[in-house]
Amino acid sequence: MITQPIHYQSIQEIQDSYKNKTETPVSVTEHFLKRIESLDPDLKSYATVMSESALKQAEFLGKLDDDDIAKLSLYGIPIALKDLCYTDGVLTMGGTAVLEDHIPDYDATVVSKLKSAGAIILGKLNLTEGAMAGYNPRRDVPKNPWNFDKWPGVSSSGSGVSTAAGLCVGSLGSDTGGSIRFPSASCGLVGIKPTYGRVSRHGVLDLAETLDHVGPMTRSVDDATMMLSAISGYDPNDPTTIFEDPVQFPDLHNVDLRGIVLGYCESYAEENIHKEIVASVRNGLEILENAGATIKKIEFESIDKYLPYWQAICTAEAYNAHLENFPKNADKYGPFFKEWLEMGSNVSQTEYIQASKQRATSNGIMRRAFDGIDAMICPSVPRLPHDVDDSINYGSVATNRASRGIAEYFQRFTVPFDYNGYPTISIPSGYSESGLPMSLQIVGTHNQEPLISRVGYAFEKEIKSIWKHPIT
């Protein structure tokens, strides 16, 4: 078996190197920091590199005895954070200029949990402004490591780029309308959008509080589940969290899927979807069926007409989240997000309630779609990563949407599960003729992260031999 370089090793592989005394937390951290220094001037994934504190934490971890190490699930693992997550004494800008001097005096709960699990925080990652779809002109745009001219996914773009390029072992992203799954699909990663309330949002800047989810982005299902276990669990500081212990994955490696029924709706998963993505997902169905799963064809009402109501909810909640700075500091916002907040300011109470009713209708359709199945298979995105440039990245809402070409149903596979809070896992499923990553998505009902991750692991086990890295 060919040994991967440190920057592409899994959590288990790195921790094995610690046990074997071939590496130390300091040597691994230094390796990642040097790689960031070498590659990130072009990739632009990091907003802030926390070299000093990362090395200090690595030195501390290196002095622990075996009994203490055994208690730390992420011992010595270099992780990076989407720059929405508060970090005590470190800039947290949220992709905006209005917060470019914002230094919190406490860690977000997810950051505290990562540290408590023994992770080493390498730094904060760039993102679109406010975690929407456009960038602030004063912030860098991360480059897709597979092709610098292609969309890296939003809004957790820095998370996708850094993890795919081996500038961290894993990262945190957030997902309000697809922001974990879009960059995971575009950069060839595993991304878990957990059940709403599974992971605390305390100390994480809001985009839209009833839609926001925080989750891991990694290069394997194993790593994603280890990170999710570390950051999940009830938090009294976030009243929306589920009153449960951190999620565990006892049957993850049971790749015999007999008895598991996976639903597939052809009209939902294939209508107007790029043919290579459809073929890739269909191949995934065959792999899962060969692993023992039963594939059940299902039908449900089109949910496309319910997608536009997401905008009313998201803009209104974003406007509420930014009241302290908007409109009084409107000049510090970029074209896209400024327009987004202006739209939110014009959403009436009646319009918000109507949108919420349409959201509930969509949720009902999806709930009924899961009758008789354990999980659903569908694409993560409807098309391959599209061309982007500064006119799109820093442009208006209309310019940004026009670049996608199919804006009216671009969020078909993401918004419904932000609406209802169902957990999903996005997994690489192959490569297009042009060499770009493709992915499929496995969706479960509330609190079914263990099930969908088990299905995902079984799929990954059969297809991982073809997985590649964008940069050596």
Residues that are catalytic: 82, 155, 179
**Locate tokens 């209708």: which residue?**
361
> 196, 207, 174, 176: which is closest to 244 by C-alpha?
196
Q: CA–CA separation, 251 vs 256, rounded Å?
A: 10
User: Cis before residue 345, ω within 30 degrees of 0?
Assistant: no
- How many residues does the structure list for the chain? 472
Q: Point out which residues pair with 125 in neighbouring strands.
A: 46, 82
The sheet with strand 375-379 has its strands ordered as 46-49, 120-125, 78-82, 170-175, 213-218, 190-193, 424-431, 437-443, 375-379, 261-264, 294-297
Q: CA–CA separation, 92 vs 83, rounded Å?
A: 6
Contact 126, 140 (CB under 8 A): yes
Contact 262, 375 (CB under 8 A): yes
DSSP classification of residue 332? G
SS3 content of the chain, % helix, strand, coil (to 5): 40, 15, 45
108 φ/ψ angles, rounded to the nearest 5 degrees? -60, 155
CB-count exposure of residue 53 (10 Å: 0-12, 13-18, 19+): middle
Structure tokens at 411: 């969020």
> 61, 84, 60: which is closest to 14 by C-alpha?
61
| Type of residue at 199 | V
| Type of residue at 21 | K
**Count of CB atoms within 10 A of residue 42's CB?**
12
> 103, 137, 142, 147: which is closest to 126 by C-alpha?
142
Q: Give the orientation angle of helix 309-321 with respect to helix 349-369, to 10 degrees.
A: 120
Q: CA–CA separation, 181 vs 184, rounded Å?
A: 5
